[in-house]
Amino acid sequence: MDWTLEVVILPVSDIDRSVEFYRDKVGFHLDHDTKNEHMHVVQLTPEGSGCSIVFGDLPPQRAMEPGSLKGLQLVVADAEAARAELTGRGVECSELMVFSPDDGGTFFGFDDPDGNSWAVQQIRARAEKPLIPLEHRGRFGAD
C-alpha cells in the first residue's frame, strides 16, 4: 500500500498576502482559492510536486502559530538557476551552501512573509528523471 504525503497545512496570518507570495513570487500553481461566507481555503502546488500547501481560516488551519513551520524542503535540478528565479521575483534567499560536492549537497533557503522557512536542495538527477513524469502532471493526475 502506498502512503503518499499530498498536503501540508501552512500557518499564515494573511491569506491573500500568502497567495500573492507563493503564486506570484515563488511560482506555485494555484489549485484553488475557495471563499464563501463560512471559510477561505487555498491550495497551491509547486511545479512537479505531488504535495501541495494549504492555508486558510478553518480551525485546523489556524491550530499552528503563523510562521511556526520550519524546514520545509523543495528539491530542484539546478539550485543556482532556482535561486536566480526566486531573487528575480523579489524573494530574499540565502546564498548557496555546498555541504558536500555530491549530488544533493547544495542548498539555499528562503522564508515566507510570516517566517515559515524553506530549504531548497539541488538534486541534479531530477533534471533527467523527475519524480512525477511530465505526462502525469495534470491537476490531480488528470491530463
What residue has cell string 482559492? 33
Residue 139: per-residue pLDDT: 61
Beta-ladder partners of 119: 73, 109
Alpha helices in the chain (DSSP H): 15-19, 79-88, 125-128
pLDDT in tens, 78-127: 999 999 999 999 999 999 999 998 989 999 999 999 999 999 999 998 88
CA 32-35-39 angle, to 5 degrees, is: 115
Please tell me whether residue 133 adopts helix, strand or coil conformation: coil
